[in-house]
Structure 1
C-alpha cells in the first residue's frame, strides 16, 4: 500500500505545494485507488497535479467525518470526475448540518445532491473498500480515557443538538506484519480507533498510524495516549493535521514520531 499526503497543515521546506488546515490522502492498494478526505478547498486537486497523481483513478472517495476541513473539496469533484465516478463511502451522519461559534462547519454538499451523480454508501458497520483496507464505520467507546467530546452542534431533526461527532471514522490496512491505521481527525479517540481496528480484524499488532490524533493539551488524556502507544510498541507514528506542537513534542520525548507534510509518501506491505 502506498499513501501520499495531498493536504495537511504542514508543508516541507523547499517543497512547493499548497498547505491548509485540513487533510486529504491518496491511497493505492495494489490496483485500487482511494481518495481519503478532500481537505477544505481545491488544494487537494492542485497538489495532486503537482505530484503527478491522477485522482480519476480513484475507485472510492472515503470521508472520515463531516467537518468542512475534510469535506470542503467536495464542491470540486464534479469537475474532477467527469467520466468514471467513484463510490463515496461515509458514516450515515456525515452530511447532516453542523455548526459552531465560528459558523457552519459541516459538509458543503448534501447527501441528496451527491446521490444524483454518485453511488453513496453510508455505513455504521465496517466495510471492505479494497483488497486490504477496511472502513471502520462507527467507532465504539473501548477505552475509558477518551470520552467523546462535543464539537459544536448538528441538525438531525428540526433543531440543532450537541454534536459528539459520531460520524468520525477511520481506515485500517491489513499488512503482512500487522495493522496500519489511517485517520482523519480521531474525534472518536485515537486509542479507541486502534482498539476497534484490532476487534474488527482480529489482529492485535499495530505497525503504524498516520493522520490526525486530535490532541492539543498536555493533560491526562495525552499522558494515557502516550502510555497506550508505548504499550502497543507501534514502530511508525505520524501524527498530523489536528495535533499541536506541544502534543507532538510530548509524544516524541517518549516515542519517535515522523514529520508529515504535503507530498510525503509512506509505503507499507
Structure 2
C-alpha cells in the first residue's frame, strides 16, 4: 500500500505544495485508489496535480467524520469526476448539521446531494475497501482514559444536541508484519481506534499509525496514550493535523516520531 499526503497543516521546507489546517490522504492498494478525506477546500486537487496524481481514477472516497476540515473538498468533486464516479463511504451521522456556537463546522454538501450523483454507502459496520484495507465504521468506547468528548452540537432531529462525534472512524491496513492505522482526527481516541482495529482484524500487532491523534495538552491522557504506544510496541508514529507541538514533543521524548508534510509518501507492505 502506498500513501501520499495531499493535505496537512504542515508543508516541508523547499516543497512547494499548499497546506491548510485539514487532512487528505491518497491511498493505492492493488487496483483500489482511495481518497481518505478531502481537506477544507480544493487544495487537495491542486496538490494532487502537482504530485502527478490523477484523482479521476479514484475508486473509493472515504470520510473519517463530518467536520468541514475533512469534508470541505466535497464541494469541488464535480471538477474531478465528470464520468466514472467513485463510491463514497462514511458513517451514517457524517452529514448531519454540525456547529460550534455560531460557527458551522459540518459538511456543506448534504447526504441527499451526494446520493443524487454518487453511490453513497453509509455504515456503522466495518467494510473491506481492498484485500488489505478496512473501514472501521463506528468505534466503541474501549479505553477508560479516552472518554468521548463533546465537539459542538449536531442536529439529529428538530433541535441541536451535544455532538460526541460518533461518526469518527479510521482505516486499518493489514500488513505483512502487523497492522497500520490511518486516522483523520481520532475523536474516538487513538488508543481506542487501535484496540478496535485489533478486534476487527483479529491481529494483535500494530506496527504504525499516521493521522490526527487529537492531542493538544500535556495531560494525563497524553501520558497514558504514550504508555499505550510503548506497551504495544508501536514505534512508527506519524502524528499530524490535530496534534499540537507540545504533544508531539512529549511523544518524541519517549518514542521518536516522524515529521509529516504535504507530498510525503509512505509504502507499507
Q: TM-score of the superposition, structure 2-length normalised?
A: 0.99
SS of the residue 1:254 aligns to: coil
Q: Does 1:223 align with 2:237?
A: no
Aligned to 1:112: 112
Aligned to 1:178: 178
Structure 1 residues 197-226: Cα deviation after superposition (integer angstroms, max 9, x where no partner): 000000000011000000000000000000
Aligned to 1:49: 49
Aligned to 2:69: 69
Alpha-carbon offset, residue 102 of structure 1: 5.2
Distance 1:107 1:23 in 2: 14
Aligned to 2:161: 161
Aligned to 1:255: 255
Q: Does 1:134 align with 2:134?
A: yes
Aligned to 1:236: 236
Structure 1 residues 227-258: Cα deviation after superposition (integer angstroms, max 9, x where no partner): 00011111310000000000000000000100
Distance 2:267 2:136 in 1: 21
Aligned to 1:5: 5
Alpha-carbon offset, residue 101 of structure 1: 2.4
Aligned 1:19-30 pairs, distance under 5 A: 19-30=19-30
Q: TM-score of the superposition, structure 1-length normalised?
A: 0.99
Gaps of 5+ in 1: none
Distance 1:224 1:48 in 2: 37
Instruction: Tell me if the contact between 2:179 and 2:206 (Cα under 8 Å) persists in the aligned partners.
Output: yes
SS of the residue 2:210 aligns to: strand
SS of the residue 1:195 aligns to: helix
Alpha-carbon offset, residue 79 of structure 1: 1.4
Distance 1:168 1:25 in 2: 16
Structure 1 residues 94-120: Cα deviation after superposition (integer angstroms, max 9, x where no partner): 000000025100001000000011000
Give the superposed CA RMSD: 0.6
Distance 1:134 1:190 in 2: 16
Query: Structure 1: which 4+ aligned runs deviate by more than 2 Å?
Result: none
How many residue pairs were aligned?
269
Instruction: Tell me if the contact between 2:229 and 2:235 (Cα under 8 Å) persists in the aligned partners.
Output: no
Gaps of 5+ in 2: none
SS of the residue 1:46 aligns to: helix
Distance 1:175 1:235 in 2: 15
Distance 2:179 2:78 in 1: 33
Alpha-carbon offset, residue 31 of structure 1: 1.8
Distance 2:106 2:252 in 1: 32
Deviates more, 1:156-165 or 1:126-135: 126-135
Structure 1 residues 28-48: Cα deviation after superposition (integer angstroms, max 9, x where no partner): 001210000000000000000
